[in-house]
Amino acid sequence: MPAAFADRFVQSARRLGHPLCVGIDPHLGLIPTAFRAGAMAPGAPDTAAAVELWCIALLDRVAGRVAAVKPQSAFFEALGPAGAAVLARVIHEARARNLLVLLDAKRGDVGSTAEAYAAAYLEPGAPLASDAITLNAYLGLDSLEPFCAAAVRSGAGLFVVLRSSNPGARDFQDLRVGERPLYERVAEALAPGLSRLRAPETDWSGLGVVVGATWPEESRRVREILPRSLFLVPGYGAQGGSAKDALAGFVPGPDGRLEGGLVASSRGIGFPAEGRDGDAASWERAVDRALAAAIAELTSAVR
Amino acid sequence: MPAAFADRFVQSARRLGHPLCVGIDPHLGLIPTAFRAGAMAPGAPDTAAAVELWCIALLDRVAGRVAAVKPQSAFFEALGPAGAAVLARVIHEARARNLLVLLDAKRGDVGSTAEAYAAAYLEPGAPLASDAITLNAYLGLDSLEPFCAAAVRSGAGLFVVLRSSNPGARDFQDLRVGERPLYERVAEALAPGLSRLRAPETDWSGLGVVVGATWPEESRRVREILPRSLFLVPGYGAQGGSAKDALAGFVPGPDGRLEGGLVASSRGIGFPAEGRDGDAASWERAVDRALAAAIAELTSAVR
């Protein structure tokens, strides 16, 4: 069996000294001028090629400096079949640069459909096979089971959305079920499964959860329920969550530094304002500065 | 603005006399011998071509006999980029046969990510543009908004999962929030939005919901909350729901027959047991028989 995702990520983050994960969100409206080929639109010629150029250039900036990248599937799907081919190449190129790939796809379905999703994204050798994936558990624990079974075989990580970072997260996730909000009930339901994806070296579980950086109090409560579950924390940076808030659910590791999850930043790294309209070299410098700033902030905050 | 999905589906179903929607679920393990090209596997040569052959052959069987088809995105995604290309062609060929396409993708995400999903699947002209899509609302009402906005522009239909047909649906969907189960609370939250997608001819709303055929009592309660929301009812046939159960949330239309949703059957139509190992003609005959039986049963049950 290949090494477990939780071991691979946590050991890499310990070595680098921070838990930053860079989101790969090729938003057509934000791709810098230097990568554009005329009008950018899902059907326009060269749009997929321009997106691929930007993605690979971003991988080149972050390789060796972060443990993982998080491509957002939606932006690739928006390009149609050409986008799926770009995503496959981005996943391949990320792994070739020793970056773990956490595909943000928030899939969730039942029975043989869930098996098909697991085959698409977790089966080693599949064109879109990733090291981890995000999931939506609304359909129930049996909808997660095919992903768990695939993850046990392949060593993949799973991140179930508990508490998202948008204002509307309150609509359903915070509804009171008895004494507790729904997202805590989902967390409780996941707890018995943690041991199945427990990684032997670091004792973290690859059955992870998504908790937004804008909700530190919620992160702490989820950590009590799931003491060894990796957190994926989106919303750091552009969405307004501070480094301290993003680390609210992290706990001291063997070296005394906070660990236990991935802190994701997407637009703040890939689309820095000063890199928008210049040449490729000025975008590269702007990305390097944004990346260095985020790494410095998180490296300091985990101490 | 193009005609609204709810009008297009309901008027077509009235003309045909039944609400059957045929699921297009190209499960590799079930593709009949006649369409197979050697070993079927996500990476194997000709697998995508065999899947496409089967999908188009199924469209040819159902064209003119049902109002809509429901491709399950997962089975196409499992084939990687080649699968996305097959899905694009299946959508195109379905529309060329005057079949409405409801893409079963259960997407759900926030902000610009939701906008990207809406662009991928609802924007007219996009390679994977469909007439309707299934959604997951766990992330909140604001996660649905980009889909609603796109649907208002394009006339598309949206089907939000409330109560799925799997045993695990109980885990979260049935949790009590105050006096009512969670799925009813989700239904209540959708109610104010129904009018935005109200179709002028039939007065049905294209802001639909998914309620499994195995839960007739739940369908009736959801109908009370959402009197003019189209239902997508999966689980009829292979998953054990009867025609009567599938129609539990339907109401009498102007001609006295029950209407108000789509009753989906997938494996029962596309993978009839007797059509599995023969030639293409014997599969076609088996599909025709299964289709005729389902149509006869539903035509009788709506009266």
Q: Per-residue pLDDT averaged across B156-165, rounded?
A: 96
Specify the DSSP element, H or E, that contains A231: strand A229-233
Of residues B237 and B198, the one with the higher pLDDT is B198
User: What is the predicted pLDDT for the residue at B1?
Assistant: 60
Looking at this predicted complex, what is its ipTM? 0.96
**B96 φ/ψ angles, rounded to the nearest 5 degrees:** -65, -20
Q: Which among B92, B106, B185, B198 is annotated as catalytic?
A: B106
Of residues A235 and B54, the one with the higher pLDDT is B54
Give contacts of A166 with chain B, Cβ < 8 Å.
110-111, 139-140, 142-143
Is the pLDDT assigned to residue B243 strictly greater than 90? yes
Of B78, B125, B142, nearest to A166 by CB-CB distance is: B142
Q: Which residues of B, range 7-46, sit inside 8 Å of A by Cβ?
A: 25, 27, 42-43
**Is B169 at the interface with chain A, CB within 8 A?**
yes
User: What is the predicted pLDDT for the residue at A213?
Assistant: 83
**Count of residues making up chain B:** 303
Copy the structure tokens of residue B288. 């025709």
User: What is the predicted pLDDT for the residue at B186?
Assistant: 98
User: What is the predicted pLDDT for the residue at B269?
Assistant: 96
Determine, for residues A170 and B109 on separate chains, whether the beta-carbon distance falls below 8 Å: no
Alpha-helical runs (H) found in chain A: 5-16, 47-62, 73-77, 81-96, 111-122, 141-154, 169-172, 182-190, 216-225, 243-246, 267-270, 280-301
**Is A114 at the interface with chain B, CB within 8 A?**
yes
**Is A63 at the interface with chain B, CB within 8 A?**
no
Q: To probe the interface with B, which of A139, A162, A180, A271 has the most B CB atoms within 10 Å? A: A139
Give contacts of A128 with chain B, Cβ < 8 Å.
77, 80-81
Determine, for residues B172 and A106 on separate chains, whether the beta-carbon distance falls below 8 Å: no
Residue pLDDT, tens place only, B90-107: 999 999 999 999 999 999
User: What is the predicted pLDDT for the residue at A39?
Assistant: 67
User: What is the predicted pLDDT for the residue at B69?
Assistant: 98
Buried b (16+ CB within 10 A) or exposed e, B270-282: bbbeebeeeeeeb
Is the pLDDT assigned to residue B74 strictly greater than 70? yes
Reading chain A (303 residues) residue by residue, the pLDDT tens digits are: 679 999 999 999 999 999 999 999 999 999 998 898 776 776 666 899 999 999 999 999 999 999 999 999 999 999 999 999 999 999 999 999 999 999 999 999 999 999 999 999 999 999 999 999 999 999 999 999 999 999 999 999 999 999 998 999 999 999 999 999 999 999 999 999 999 999 999 999 999 999 998 888 999 999 999 999 999 999 888 667 789 999 999 999 999 999 999 999 999 999 998 888 888 999 999 999 999 999 999 999 999
Of residues B36 and B298, the one with the higher pLDDT is B298
Supply the pTM of this predicted model. 0.97
Distant-in-sequence, close-in-space partners of B178: CB < 8 Å, separation ≥ 6: A176
Q: Which of A239-248, B109-118, B224-233 has the lowest mean pLDDT?
A: A239-248
Of B85, B110, B169, nearest to A140 by CB-CB distance is: B169
Determine, for residues A168 and B109 on separate chains, whether the beta-carbon distance falls below 8 Å: no
Q: Per-residue pLDDT averaged across B174-202, rounded?
A: 96
Q: Per-residue pLDDT averaged across B281-289, rounded?
A: 96
**Position B239 confidence tier, pLDDT thresholds 50, 70, 90:** low
Q: How far apart are CA A241 and CA A218, in angstroms?
A: 13
Determine, for residues A27 and B141 on separate chains, whether the beta-carbon distance falls below 8 Å: no
User: What is the predicted pLDDT for the residue at A235?
Assistant: 85
User: Is A106 tagged catalytic?
Assistant: yes
Give contacts of A185 with chain B, Cβ < 8 Å.
172, 175
Determine, for residues B140 and A113 on separate chains, whether the beta-carbon distance falls below 8 Å: no
Sequence ranges of the domains in chain B: 5-301
User: What is the predicted pLDDT for the residue at B103?
Assistant: 98
C-alpha count within 13 angstroms, C-beta hemisphere, residue B247: 19
Shortest Cα–Cα distance, B123 to chain A (Å): 9
Q: What mean pLDDT is reported for chain B? A: 94
Closest CA to A101 of A71, A145, A144: A71
Q: How far apart are CA B177 and CA B49, in angstroms?
A: 48
Is A74 in contact with B117 (CB distance < 8 Å)?
yes
Residue pLDDT, tens place only, B139-154: 999 999 999 999 999 9
**Position B129 confidence tier, pLDDT thresholds 50, 70, 90:** very high
Is B20 in contact with B294 (CB distance < 8 Å)?
yes
Q: Does domain A5-301 have CATH number 3.20.20.70?
A: yes
User: What is the predicted pLDDT for the residue at B276?
Assistant: 84
